[in-house]
Protein backbone atom coordinates (compact mmCIF):
# COMPACT_ATOMS: atom_id res chain seq x y z
CA UNK A 1 0.00 0.00 0.00
CA UNK A 2 2.83 2.40 0.86
CA UNK A 3 4.49 1.90 -2.51
CA UNK A 4 1.17 2.47 -4.29
CA UNK A 5 0.61 5.68 -2.38
CA UNK A 6 4.10 6.88 -3.20
CA UNK A 7 3.61 6.17 -6.91
CA UNK A 8 0.26 7.94 -6.89
CA UNK A 9 1.94 10.92 -5.26
CA UNK A 10 4.63 10.98 -7.94
CA UNK A 11 2.08 10.82 -10.74
CA UNK A 12 0.06 13.58 -9.04
CA UNK A 13 3.10 15.86 -8.94
CA UNK A 14 3.86 15.10 -12.59
CA UNK A 15 0.34 16.20 -13.53
CA UNK A 16 0.61 19.66 -11.91
CA UNK A 17 4.21 20.68 -12.61
CA UNK A 18 5.07 23.19 -15.31
CA UNK A 19 8.19 23.32 -17.43
CA UNK A 20 10.14 26.59 -17.77
CA UNK A 21 8.82 27.25 -21.29
CA UNK A 22 5.37 25.67 -21.03
CA UNK A 23 3.69 29.08 -21.39
CA UNK A 24 5.24 29.36 -24.88
CA UNK A 25 3.83 26.07 -26.19
CA UNK A 26 1.08 27.67 -28.28
CA UNK A 27 3.47 30.30 -29.66
CA UNK A 28 6.00 27.62 -30.61
CA UNK A 29 3.34 25.63 -32.44
CA UNK A 30 2.11 28.73 -34.26
CA UNK A 31 5.63 29.92 -35.13
CA UNK A 32 6.84 26.58 -36.48
CA UNK A 33 6.68 25.84 -40.19
CA UNK A 34 6.59 22.16 -41.13
CA UNK A 35 9.55 21.24 -43.30
CA UNK A 36 11.23 24.61 -42.68
CA UNK A 37 11.84 25.19 -38.98
CA UNK A 38 10.20 23.69 -35.89
CA UNK A 39 10.72 24.74 -32.28
CA UNK A 40 9.64 22.58 -29.35
CA UNK A 41 10.49 22.25 -25.68
CA UNK A 42 11.75 18.88 -24.48
CA UNK A 43 10.95 19.35 -20.79
CA UNK A 44 11.92 17.39 -17.70
CA UNK A 45 14.98 15.66 -19.12
CA UNK A 46 17.15 13.88 -16.58
CA UNK A 47 20.40 15.87 -16.41
CA UNK A 48 23.48 15.11 -14.37
CA UNK A 49 26.57 17.24 -13.86
CA UNK A 50 29.50 14.84 -13.90
CA UNK A 51 33.13 15.44 -12.97
CA UNK A 52 35.51 12.54 -13.36
CA UNK A 53 38.88 11.85 -14.97
CA UNK A 54 37.92 9.74 -18.01
CA UNK A 55 41.37 8.08 -17.96
CA UNK A 56 40.96 6.77 -14.42
CA UNK A 57 39.47 3.53 -13.10
CA UNK A 58 36.43 5.40 -11.81
CA UNK A 59 36.14 7.07 -15.22
CA UNK A 60 35.93 3.63 -16.81
CA UNK A 61 33.24 2.58 -14.33
CA UNK A 62 31.22 5.74 -14.98
CA UNK A 63 31.61 5.28 -18.74
CA UNK A 64 30.20 1.76 -18.43
CA UNK A 65 27.06 3.20 -16.79
CA UNK A 66 26.64 6.13 -19.19
CA UNK A 67 27.60 4.24 -22.34
CA UNK A 68 30.83 6.14 -23.02
CA UNK A 69 32.57 9.39 -22.16
CA UNK A 70 33.65 11.76 -24.95
CA UNK A 71 37.40 12.28 -25.17
CA UNK A 72 37.61 15.46 -27.26
CA UNK A 73 36.36 19.02 -27.08
CA UNK A 74 32.79 19.09 -28.38
CA UNK A 75 32.43 15.34 -28.32
CA UNK A 76 29.23 13.49 -27.41
CA UNK A 77 29.24 10.03 -25.88
CA UNK A 78 26.63 7.80 -24.29
CA UNK A 79 24.36 5.01 -25.52
CA UNK A 80 20.76 3.73 -25.31
CA UNK A 81 19.13 7.15 -25.09
CA UNK A 82 21.77 8.64 -22.78
CA UNK A 83 23.93 11.47 -24.15
CA UNK A 84 27.14 12.59 -22.47
CA UNK A 85 28.20 16.07 -23.58
CA UNK A 86 31.81 17.23 -23.23
CA UNK A 87 32.10 20.45 -21.19
CA UNK A 88 35.76 20.16 -20.24
CA UNK A 89 38.57 17.60 -19.93
CA UNK A 90 36.94 16.13 -16.81
CA UNK A 91 33.50 17.75 -16.87
CA UNK A 92 30.41 16.40 -18.64
CA UNK A 93 26.66 16.94 -18.86
CA UNK A 94 24.71 13.69 -18.91
CA UNK A 95 21.28 13.96 -20.56
CA UNK A 96 18.73 11.15 -20.50
CA UNK A 97 14.95 10.73 -20.81
CA UNK A 98 12.76 11.74 -17.89
CA UNK A 99 12.14 8.11 -16.94
CA UNK A 100 15.84 7.61 -16.19
CA UNK A 101 15.54 9.75 -13.06
CA UNK A 102 15.76 7.77 -9.82
CA UNK A 103 12.63 9.42 -8.42
CA UNK A 104 10.60 7.96 -11.30
CA UNK A 105 11.90 4.42 -10.97
CA UNK A 106 15.09 4.87 -12.99
CA UNK A 107 18.54 4.36 -11.59
CA UNK A 108 20.86 6.56 -13.66
CA UNK A 109 21.93 9.01 -10.96
CA UNK A 110 22.27 6.34 -8.30
CA UNK A 111 24.27 4.14 -10.65
CA UNK A 112 26.61 7.02 -11.50
CA UNK A 113 27.09 7.72 -7.79
CA UNK A 114 27.88 4.06 -7.18
CA UNK A 115 30.31 3.96 -10.10
CA UNK A 116 32.19 7.01 -8.85
CA UNK A 117 32.26 5.70 -5.28
CA UNK A 118 34.62 7.56 -2.95
CA UNK A 119 36.94 8.58 -5.78
CA UNK A 120 37.58 12.25 -6.60
CA UNK A 121 34.82 13.68 -8.73
CA UNK A 122 31.20 14.70 -8.59
CA UNK A 123 27.74 13.51 -9.58
CA UNK A 124 25.07 16.23 -9.23
CA UNK A 125 21.40 16.10 -10.20
CA UNK A 126 20.83 19.12 -12.49
CA UNK A 127 17.46 18.05 -13.87
CA UNK A 128 15.70 21.19 -12.59
CA UNK A 129 18.60 23.48 -13.55
CA UNK A 130 18.05 23.54 -17.31
CA UNK A 131 15.38 22.95 -19.88
CA UNK A 132 15.73 21.75 -23.47
CA UNK A 133 14.73 23.45 -26.70
CA UNK A 134 14.64 21.29 -29.82
CA UNK A 135 15.12 23.18 -33.08
CA UNK A 136 14.87 21.35 -36.39
CA UNK A 137 14.27 21.85 -40.09
CA UNK A 138 16.03 23.13 -43.16
CA UNK A 139 16.28 26.65 -41.70
CA UNK A 140 17.27 25.69 -38.16
CA UNK A 141 20.93 26.53 -38.75
CA UNK A 142 20.00 29.90 -40.30
CA UNK A 143 17.94 30.74 -37.22
CA UNK A 144 20.83 29.97 -34.88
CA UNK A 145 23.31 31.89 -37.00
CA UNK A 146 21.38 35.09 -36.26
CA UNK A 147 22.67 35.02 -32.70
CA UNK A 148 25.44 32.44 -32.34
CA UNK A 149 29.11 33.17 -33.00
CA UNK A 150 30.08 29.53 -33.55
CA UNK A 151 30.84 28.32 -37.06
CA UNK A 152 27.79 26.12 -37.58
CA UNK A 153 28.75 24.88 -41.04
CA UNK A 154 28.59 21.06 -41.11
CA UNK A 155 32.34 20.90 -41.72
CA UNK A 156 32.97 22.61 -38.37
CA UNK A 157 29.87 21.52 -36.43
CA UNK A 158 28.76 18.06 -37.57
CA UNK A 159 26.10 15.90 -35.90
CA UNK A 160 27.40 14.50 -32.62
CA UNK A 161 28.96 17.80 -31.53
CA UNK A 162 28.09 19.86 -28.44
CA UNK A 163 29.71 23.09 -27.26
CA UNK A 164 29.19 25.83 -24.70
CA UNK A 165 28.22 29.01 -26.52
CA UNK A 166 25.70 31.84 -26.53
CA UNK A 167 22.53 32.11 -28.58
CA UNK A 168 20.84 35.49 -28.45
CA UNK A 169 23.32 36.45 -25.72
CA UNK A 170 22.04 33.59 -23.56
CA UNK A 171 24.60 30.98 -22.37
CA UNK A 172 23.62 27.52 -23.62
CA UNK A 173 25.03 24.13 -24.36
CA UNK A 174 24.32 23.62 -28.07
CA UNK A 175 24.19 20.06 -29.41
CA UNK A 176 23.76 19.08 -33.04
CA UNK A 177 21.70 15.90 -33.01
CA UNK A 178 21.20 15.42 -36.75
CA UNK A 179 21.83 17.00 -40.14
CA UNK A 180 19.05 19.55 -39.52
CA UNK A 181 18.35 19.23 -35.79
CA UNK A 182 19.74 20.80 -32.63
CA UNK A 183 19.18 20.78 -28.90
CA UNK A 184 19.77 23.88 -26.78
CA UNK A 185 20.19 23.62 -23.03
CA UNK A 186 19.67 27.01 -21.32
CA UNK A 187 19.33 27.47 -17.60
CA UNK A 188 15.67 27.43 -16.60
CA UNK A 189 15.68 31.12 -15.65
CA UNK A 190 16.63 32.04 -19.24
CA UNK A 191 14.02 29.81 -20.92
CA UNK A 192 11.45 32.55 -21.49
CA UNK A 193 13.93 34.98 -23.05
CA UNK A 194 15.60 32.39 -25.26
CA UNK A 195 12.29 30.89 -26.36
CA UNK A 196 11.01 34.30 -27.41
CA UNK A 197 14.31 35.12 -29.13
CA UNK A 198 14.13 31.92 -31.18
CA UNK A 199 10.53 32.60 -32.13
CA UNK A 200 11.45 36.08 -33.30
CA UNK A 201 14.39 34.69 -35.30
CA UNK A 202 12.02 32.18 -36.93
CA UNK A 203 9.41 34.77 -37.83
CA UNK A 204 10.64 35.47 -41.37
CA UNK A 205 10.15 31.81 -42.31
CA UNK A 206 6.51 31.89 -41.20
CA UNK A 207 5.75 34.93 -43.34
CA UNK A 208 4.44 34.59 -46.90
CA UNK A 209 6.97 35.26 -49.63
CA UNK A 210 6.75 38.64 -51.34
CA UNK A 211 6.09 38.09 -55.06
pTM of the model: 0.90
pLDDT of residue 14: 62
DSSP-assigned letter for residue 51 = E
Kindly report the average pLDDT of the chain as a whole number. 92
pLDDT of residue 209: 57
pLDDT of residue 40: 98
Q: CATH for 44-128, among 3.30.300.340, 3.30.70.1520, 3.90.950.10, 3.30.470.10?
A: 3.30.70.1520
pLDDT tens-digit readout, 79-98: 999 999 999 999 999 999 99
Measured distance CA(130)–CA(132) in Å, rounded: 7
pLDDT of residue 20: 96
Q: CATH for 20-42+131-206, among 1.10.8.50, 1.10.760.10, 3.20.20.70, 3.30.1360.120?
A: 3.30.1360.120
State the virtual CA torsion across 72, 78, 79, 80 in degrees, nearest 10: -150
**Per-domain boundaries in the chain:** 20-42+131-206, 44-128
pLDDT of residue 128: 93
DSSP-assigned letter for residue 56 = S
In which element (H, E) is residue 91 found?
strand 91-96
Residue numbers of the chain with a pLDDT score lower than 70: 1-15, 207-211
Q: Are 184 and 133 in contact (CB under 8 A)?
A: yes
**Which string of DSSP letters, residue by residue, matches 110-168?**
HHHHHHHTTSS-EEEE-TTTB--EEEESTTHHHHHHTT--S--STTTS-TTEEEEEEET
Task: Give the phi and the psi of residue 189 in degrees, each rounded to 5.
Answer: -70, -20
Amino acid sequence: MANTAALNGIHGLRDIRRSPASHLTAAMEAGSVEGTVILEEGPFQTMVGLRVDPRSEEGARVAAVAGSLPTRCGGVGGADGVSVLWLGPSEFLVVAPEEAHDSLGGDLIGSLHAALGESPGQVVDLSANRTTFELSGARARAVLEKGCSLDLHPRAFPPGTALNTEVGNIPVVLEKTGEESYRLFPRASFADFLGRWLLDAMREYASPEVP
